[in-house]
Amino acid sequence: MRKSIATVSVSGTLAEKLTAISAAGFDGVEIFENDLLVSPLSPEEVRARARDLGLGIDLYQPFRDFEAVPGDVLAGNLRRAERKFEVMERLGATLLLVCSSVSPDAIDDDELAAEQLRLLAERAAGHGISIAYEALAWGRHVNEYLHAWRIVRMADHPNLGTCLDSFHILSRGSDPIGIEAIPGDKVFFLQLADAPLLAMDVLQWSRHYRCFPGQGTFDLAGLVTHVLETGYAGPLSLEVFNDGFRQADAGRTSLDAMRSLIALEEAAARRRGTTPPIPPPVIPSGFAFAELSVPPAVPSAIASAVSAGDPPGPPDPPGLPRHPPELSALLAALGFVRTGTHPGKPVELWEQGEARILLNATGDEPALAAIGLESPDPAGSVKRAESLLSPVLPRHRAPREARLDAIAAPDGTELFFCRTEHPGHSSWTDDFRPRAEGTARAPAAEGITHIDHVALTQPRHHFDEAALFYRGVLGLRPQESLEVPDPYGLLRSKAMSSEDGALRMVLNINQVGAQHIPWQHIALACDDIVATAHRLRAAHPGLLLPVPANYYDDLAARYDAPPELRELGLLYDRDEHGEFLHLYTITAGRVFFEIVQRVGDYQGYGAANAPVRLAAQHAWGGQRSSTMNVTPSA
């Protein structure tokens, strides 16, 4: 279907907006009046610019507070409309959006509203223009889409139809099934926006918190399905008012917008039983590896302490960053074994059970740089990603090196699609073989069995983009966003997982404050966390994050938890399906590890314990500096 977007949905000048929208592949735009009013370009220049960029001008909007008014007010409204028609002729726009009135002058009289809208449509027809009448969710007398349609039907003019706006329909809880009662040729335009579920004034909700399809809670696929059943043949158009989008890069926002429409069109096609326009998602079956970038050389004092079984030295003075433990030493303490090195790259493979960690010595500080995803069809995964505007990243590959295609997630993390163990086919692990002399993969009995989940830091303005990316490209299901108190801000977190829970990811961003390292972490699953905790406490007590005694006092009151949890520094959570035990290591650069054990069918992530962990990390010496200006996370 033809795809369009309102210029109000992205940042920049009108010229910049048009360029970004065209580059993202849109067919047309809605020109928002304020964007034109503040532009140095004349309507004729805007028309030419749009034409040169391959964009049609699908709609001019908004025209407010017109209908159901006294005669003297109507005369002024008609003069105002004539001026807008002249501007639209210069723009080459042939459809004007008229919003239901919020004016105190408006009279609650449908017949009068129909009569005046018919008069407006007649005037518009003289300029080759049509009118799309929309019910604002906060309209003074008309705030339901079927009410707006009744007035349009009563007016009975060929140049008057209705505009259906998903936000105005779904924010009020209206049933969209009634859309199918409207003839498709009288649905002049369809505007789409998603939104999170918020308990607030609908006007403020609309003006600040709309988002692209798939980023909120509305059933837009269902609404679009109803609209298409009418025979509607116009564009799918986005009209999104969002404070974050207005500050973000226009090109990136436009790409995200287009991705949302592609995914929405696919979802609507599946609802209707028609062929989707893009390849189906290939759901990953788990993590193949996590790749950490590390400096080529790091301080070895803590590594020596780990080897000797001693705790690290005392913390540095408050406010100063401490040297991170060498990641290889930290992995060894957790029971990982270095099983190979890459012959052509400074990369080491560390393994324990089915958990694999790559250390790539090309970074400035320890950080999570890439994730390998087990895919039953890597080529299909790539095609899916490309169809949703995530091209394959360029990658140097030696002649005999395994082919691993990667795409970039919104935060810059590289995602590789691979099959580690596949009968009759080579594996990417063969690039690291033969294994280092005298070593073998540590068995799962050592404690850790596989990677349970990873937590990724998201840039402040791209949290919703990331959720849409993982939902669309990987087919993960989002859970509700949580807000967790941090000693220096507020952490917003959203978990996403495959339906069977084989792949779990957590997206984090801090809402307030900007003086923390954007921490990332890898959660490692084990079958006996008590035994693992005993071993780590005995051999490397200084590598585990200390937990305040107050936490255990409260835990004992809530759950009558055994004293052993306090002794071992284990955190605990439960729900109606099972239990969750976990512990954390201290941080190494931007990275720390979590060891988890799920008991029963527990599906969460111990979110109730996140404030304890965040406070403990800051108390331990998590890097704080008034000169830092990075997005905080955990």
Residue pLDDT, tens place only, 38-48: 999 999 999 99
The answer to whether residue 425 scores a pLDDT higher than 80 is no
The amino acid sitting at 592 is F
Q: How many CA atoms lie within 13 A of 361 on its CB side?
A: 14
Radius of gyration from C-alpha coordinates of the chain? 29
The residue-averaged pLDDT of 10-38 equals: 97
Phi and psi (nearest 5°) for 582?
-155, 160
* HEC-encoded secondary structure of 475-535: CCEECCCEEEEECCEEEEEEEEECCCCCCEEEEEEECCCCEECECEEEEEEECCHHHHHHH
Q: Per-residue pLDDT tens for 116-152?
A: 999 999 999 999 999 999 999 999 999 999 999 999 9
The dihedral of CA 613, 619, 620, 623: what is its sign?
A: positive
Q: Which two tokens stand for residue 2?
A: 């033809």
Average pLDDT of the chain is 88
> Which pLDDT band holds residue 422 (cuts at 50, 70, 90)?
low
Query: Does residue 381 contact residue 415 with C-beta atoms inside 8 Å?
Result: no
The residue-averaged pLDDT of 623-629 equals: 30
Tokens 């062929």: give the residue. 275
- Model pLDDT, residue 512: 52
- Model pLDDT, residue 463: 87
Q: Which two tokens stand for residue 284?
A: 């990953």
Query: Does residue 632 contact residue 517 with C-beta atoms inside 8 Å?
Result: yes
**Concatenated DSSP letters for 2-64?**
-EEEEGGGS-S-HHHHHHHHHHTT-SEEEEEHHHHHT-SS-HHHHHHHHHHTT-EEEEEEEE-
The amino acid sitting at 598 is R
Give CA–CA dist 165/56, Å, rounded: 20
> Which pLDDT band holds residue 511 (cuts at 50, 70, 90)?
low
The amino acid sitting at 113 is A
Give CA–CA dist 524/520, Å, rounded: 13
- Model pLDDT, residue 411: 87
Other CB atoms within a 10 A radius of the CB of residue 340 amount to 22
Q: What is the dihedral of CA 552, 558, 559, 564, to 10 degrees?
A: 10
Q: Per-residue pLDDT tens for 592-617?
A: 999 999 999 999 999 999 999 988 88
The answer to whether residue 232 scores a pLDDT higher than 50 is yes
Q: Per-residue pLDDT tens for 348-386?
A: 999 999 999 999 998 888 889 999 999 999 999 999 999
The answer to whether residue 226 scores a pLDDT higher than 90 is yes
Does residue 439 or residue 2 have the better pLDDT?
A: 2
The residue-averaged pLDDT of 509-526 equals: 74
Q: Which two tokens stand for residue 487?
A: 């000693």
Tokens 């907006």: give the residue. 17
> Which pLDDT band holds residue 627 (cuts at 50, 70, 90)?
very low
- Model pLDDT, residue 240: 96
Give CA–CA dist 221/447, Å, rounded: 44
Give CA–CA dist 585/634, Å, rounded: 13
- Model pLDDT, residue 423: 61
Burial status of residue 113 (CB atoms within 10 A of its CB: 0-12, 13-18, 19 or more): buried
The answer to whether residue 284 scores a pLDDT higher than 50 is yes
Provide the 3-class DSSP secondary structure of residue 588.
Answer: strand
- Model pLDDT, residue 440: 56
The answer to whether residue 254 scores a pLDDT higher than 50 is yes
Q: Per-residue pLDDT tens for 541-589?
A: 889 999 999 999 999 998 888 889 999 999 999 999 999 999 999 988 8
- Model pLDDT, residue 329: 87
The residue-averaged pLDDT of 278-285 equals: 94
Using CA atoms, how far residue 541 sits from 90, 390, 568, 569, in Å, is 74, 43, 10, 10
Provide the 3-class DSSP secondary structure of residue 581.
Answer: strand
Q: Which two tokens stand for residue 383?
A: 């095609």
The answer to whether residue 318 scores a pLDDT higher than 60 is no
The residue-averaged pLDDT of 425-449 equals: 67
Q: Which range has highest mean pLDDT (209-223, 286-300, 450-464)?
A: 209-223
The answer to whether residue 203 scores a pLDDT higher than 80 is yes
Give CA–CA dist 211/202, Å, rounded: 14
pTM of the model: 0.87
* Domains present along the chain, CATH in parentheses: 3-272 (3.20.20.150), 286-620 (3.10.180.10)
Q: What percent of the chain has pLDDT over 70?
A: 89
Query: Does residue 201 contact residue 173 with C-beta atoms inside 8 Å?
Result: no
> Which pLDDT band holds residue 517 (cuts at 50, 70, 90)?
low
Query: Does residue 208 contact residue 243 with C-beta atoms inside 8 Å?
Result: yes
- Model pLDDT, residue 483: 85
The residue-averaged pLDDT of 13-41 equals: 97
> Which pLDDT band holds residue 298 (cuts at 50, 70, 90)?
very low
Q: Which range has highest mean pLDDT (75-89, 394-408, 462-476)?
A: 75-89
Other CB atoms within a 10 A radius of the CB of residue 426 amount to 13
Give CA–CA dist 630/294, Å, rounded: 19
Provide the 3-class DSSP secondary structure of residue 77.
Answer: helix
Using CA atoms, how far residue 212 sits from 107, 192, 209, 220, 249, in Å, is 35, 8, 10, 10, 15
Q: What percent of the chain has pLDDT over 90?
A: 69
Residues near 549 by Cβ (< 8 Å), separated by ≥ 6? 566
- Bond preceding residue 434 cis, omega within 30 of 0: yes
Give CA–CA dist 204/439, Å, rounded: 61
- Model pLDDT, residue 58: 98
Q: Which range has highest mean pLDDT (159-168, 388-397, 457-466)?
A: 159-168
- Model pLDDT, residue 312: 43
The answer to whether residue 634 scores a pLDDT higher than 50 is no
174-178, 213-217, 546-550, 627-631: least confident range: 627-631
* DSSP 8-state class, residue 213: T
- Model pLDDT, residue 280: 94
- Model pLDDT, residue 320: 29
The answer to whether residue 633 scores a pLDDT higher than 60 is no
End-to-end CA distance of the chain: 41
- Model pLDDT, residue 227: 98
- Model pLDDT, residue 600: 95
H or E, element range at 130: strand 130-134
Does residue 108 or residue 434 have the better pLDDT?
A: 108
> Which pLDDT band holds residue 434 (cuts at 50, 70, 90)?
low
The answer to whether residue 304 scores a pLDDT higher than 50 is no
- Model pLDDT, residue 441: 55
Report the candidate in 148, 132, 9, 152 with the shortest Cα–Cα distance to residue 60: 132
Q: Which two tokens stand for residue 285?
A: 């079956």
Q: Which range has highest mean pLDDT (232-241, 291-300, 397-406, 624-633)?
A: 232-241
178-192, 232-246, 298-312, 456-470: least confident range: 298-312
The dihedral of CA 472, 474, 476, 481: what is its sign?
A: negative
Give CA–CA dist 189/187, Å, rounded: 6
Residues near 396 by Cβ (< 8 Å), separated by ≥ 6? none
- Model pLDDT, residue 357: 96
The answer to whether residue 319 scores a pLDDT higher than 70 is no
Q: 451-482 as b/e, with b when 16 or more CB fall inside 10 Å?
A: bbbbbbbbbbbbbbbbbbbbbbbbbbebbeeb
